Amino acid sequence: METAAPSDALPVTIVPRWEWRTFGTSFGAADERLAALAPDRVEESDEIYLLALGSDASVKLRGGLVDVKRREQIDDRGLELWRPVMKHRFPVAAADVRTVLETLRADVPALTREAYTLEEVRDEIIQPSAELRAAPVHKRRVRHTIGGCMAEVTELSADGRPTRTIAVEFEDPERVIAAVRDLGLEERPVVCVARGLKALVGFGARRYAVIDVGTNSVKFHVGERAADGTIRAIVDRAEVTRLGEGLDDTGRLGAEPIGRTVDAIAAMVRVADRFEPDPAANRTYEDLYRSVYLPMYDRLRPLYREIRRITGYPPA
């Protein structure tokens, strides 16, 4: 927004700043270090963040304003370069609503008004969209200066879920890195505000399920990848079915082992059918099965016999 701004726009000093940020409940020695310092500023605020499935842009509604920052670069150390692009008072023009949605990489619906109030943006554009979510956030920010950089610890809550985040920012990335190292935080992952909030409220999380059928057991795993990239196990179980029983003698799968395995898979599928399969992953596993695993049985039959001769397993 470096051209002439409309009358309802506030002056925005466009100075891109490099930011390092992480989320967590405790920041170890950095907490102790900052707590021993007199803060430069302490602020509390209530804001609404617009979260999007397709973007990590920072869009917040606060004090009758829409405030937009765009991430322009991520360097090889994870530092993120953010540029302010909009700070307008409500009501905002339809063209500016379009700019916000395009920044969030969300579909732009028909904009039938010349200008939109905050409530109209929320009710007519955000709520009907599966790509967007409005997250009310309460924040308490404590700001310090470390190595010439702004260092800010924030306690925030969204949907009644609390978390903490610490950020270091400045125009010079080398000074940001030096301050992060000085605080002993360099090993922590960099997570921007939008990704941290999406992970906190569960927006944008994806679940993946896989069933691994082996000659001795069937394994079933469901994992969830949150918006911040963290992964947690939802289901992790295994059932011994001995599908390969007698395979080394006959070269064929027996009816009884097949029955046991099918029953185990059916029970697992009843759990997994809540999750949407990934067609690309299905094709990959199908190709592996037909091109690799099926031809493997004949080639491995002599090896199975040697394993049983040496170990006595599986029993004859």
pLDDT in tens, 182-210: 999 999 999 999 999 998 998 877 767 88
Of 167, 201, 235, the last residue of a domain is 201
| Band of residue 315 on the pLDDT scale cut at 50, 70, 90 | low
| Residue pLDDT, tens place only, 24-63 | 999 999 999 999 999 999 999 999 999 999 899 999 998 8
> What's the domain range around 54?
17-201
- Is the pLDDT at 273 greater than 70? The verdict is no
Q: What three-state secondary structure class fits 136?
A: strand
Q: Sign (positive/negative) of CA torsion 279, 283, 285, 289?
A: positive
Residues 6+ apart with CB under 8 A from 292: none
Q: Helix or strand or coil: residue 217?
A: strand
Report which residue type is found at 38: A
As a whole number of angstroms, the distance between CA 113 and CA 119 comes to: 13
Q: What is the total count of domains within the chain?
A: 2
Contact 170, 53 (CB under 8 A): no
- By residue count, the chain amounts to 316
Please list, in sequence order, all residues whose beta carbon lies within 8 angstroms of the beta carbon of residue 84, skipping any fewer than 6 positions away: 1, 12, 13, 14, 15, 67, 68, 69
Same domain, 68 and 118: yes
Q: Which among 128, 133, 64, 62 is positioned nearest to 104, based on CA atoms?
A: 133
Same domain flag for 77 and 183: yes
pLDDT surpasses 90 at 148: yes
pLDDT digits (tens, 9 = 90+) for 59-118: 999 889 999 999 999 998 899 999 999 999 999 999 999 999 999 999 999 999 999 999
Q: Is residue 41 part of a domain?
A: yes
Inform me whether the pLDDT recorded for 170 exceeds 90: yes
Q: Are residues 29 and 130 located together in one domain of the fold?
A: yes
Categorize the per-residue pLDDT at 151 as very low, low, confident or very high, splitting at 50, 70 and 90. very high
Residue 316 lies in a domain: no
Query: Is 56 in the same domain as 180?
Result: yes
Confidence of residue 304 (pLDDT cuts 50, 70, 90): confident
Of 201, 224, 247, the residue at which a domain comes to its end is: 201
**Residue pair 48/137 in contact by the 8 Å Cβ criterion:** yes
Residue 5 lies in a domain: no
Question: Beta strand pairing status for 132-146 and 41-52?
Answer: antiparallel
CA distance 217 to 244: 9
Whether residues 176 and 221 share a domain: the answer is no
Average pLDDT of the chain to the nearest whole number: 86
CB-based contacts of 83, cutoff 8 Å, min separation 6? 14, 16, 69, 70, 72
Please report, for the domain that includes residue 244, its CATH number.
3.30.420.40
Q: What is the CATH number of the domain that holds 100?
A: 2.40.320.10
Rounded to the nearest 5 degrees, what angle is found at the Cα of 188, between the Cα atoms of 185 and 193?
Answer: 100
Task: Assess if residue 10 is contained within a domain.
Answer: no
Q: What is the pLDDT of residue 93?
A: 96
What is the secondary structure of 5-41 as a DSSP string? PPTTBPP-----EEEEEEEES--THHHHHHHTSPPSE
pLDDT confidence band for 261 (50 / 70 / 90): confident
125 within some domain: yes
65-74 and 80-89: which strand pairing? antiparallel
Which helix (H) or strand (E) is 46 found in, with range? strand 41-52
On the question of pLDDT at 167 being above 90, the answer is: yes
Domain-located, residue 135: yes
Claim to verify: residue 30 and residue 69 sit in the same structural domain: yes
Regarding whether 175 and 150 lie in a shared domain, the answer is yes
Question: Do 176 and 256 have their domain in common?
Answer: no
Question: By mean pLDDT, which of 59-68, 121-130, 216-225, 262-271 is the weakest?
Answer: 262-271
If asked whether residues 188 and 212 sit together in one domain, one would say: no
Of 201, 221, 249, which closes a domain?
201
Same domain, 166 and 88: yes
Spell out the long-range contacts of 206-211 with Cβ–Cβ below 8 A and sequence spacing 24 or more: 207/234, 207/275, 208/275, 208/278, 208/281, 209/235, 209/272, 209/275, 209/277, 210/281, 211/265, 211/268, 211/269, 211/272
Residue 276 inside a domain? The answer is yes
Tell which wins on pLDDT, 251 or 72. 72
Residues 220 and 164 in one domain: no
Is the pTM here over 0.75, yes or no? no
Q: Which residue has the higher pLDDT, 213 or 6?
A: 213
Residue 293 pLDDT exceeds 80: no
Residue 21 phi/psi, 5-degree rounding, is -145, 145
In a domain, 8, yes or no: no
State the pLDDT at residue 276.
Answer: 55
19 near 83, Cβ under 8 Å?
no
Do 178 and 285 sit in the same domain of this protein?
A: no
Neighbours of 304 (CB within 10 A): 16
